[in-house]
């Protein structure tokens, strides 16, 4: 989680659809980099192949076979 109470307070004072003040550009850019990196990590996890589950041990009787 990304927490920045000062930034949150500054952004909360802005009207919706207003421009971000230039003095906040750098910190907002850092937040965007953080969000994009999370998104990229999620995409990489979703695209990575899942390992196959282990095969059942045939030496133990299955609870479904009687």
pLDDT in single tens digits along all 66 residues of the chain: 778 898 899 999 999 999 999 999 999 999 899 999 988 887 777 766 666 666 677 765 655 554
Q: Per the structure block, which two tokens stand in for 44?
A: 């990489």
Residue 57, domain member (yes or no): no
Residue 30, domain member (yes or no): yes
Residue 23, domain member (yes or no): yes
Burial of 11 (0-12, 13-18, 19+ CB in 10 A): middle
Residue 4 pLDDT: 85
Region label for 44, one of left (φ > 0), alpha (ψ between -120 and 50) or beta (otherwise): alpha
> Has this prediction a pTM greater than 0.85?
no
Residue 56, domain member (yes or no): no
Residue 11, domain member (yes or no): no
Domain containing residue 23: 19-46
Q: Which of 47, 48, 8 is nearest to 28 (CA)?
A: 8
DSSP category for residue 64: S
Residue 28, domain member (yes or no): yes
Q: How many domains does the chain have?
A: 1
Residue 26, domain member (yes or no): yes
């Amino acid at each position: 989680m990304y927490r920045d109470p000062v930034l949150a307070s500054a952004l909360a004072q802005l009207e919706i659809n207003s421009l971000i003040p230039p003095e906040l550009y750098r910190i907002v850019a850092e937040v965007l980099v953080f969000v994009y990196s999370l998104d990229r990590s999620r995409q990489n996890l979703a695209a990575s192949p899942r390992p196959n589950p282990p095969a059942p041990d045939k030496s133990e009787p299955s609870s479904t076979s009687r």
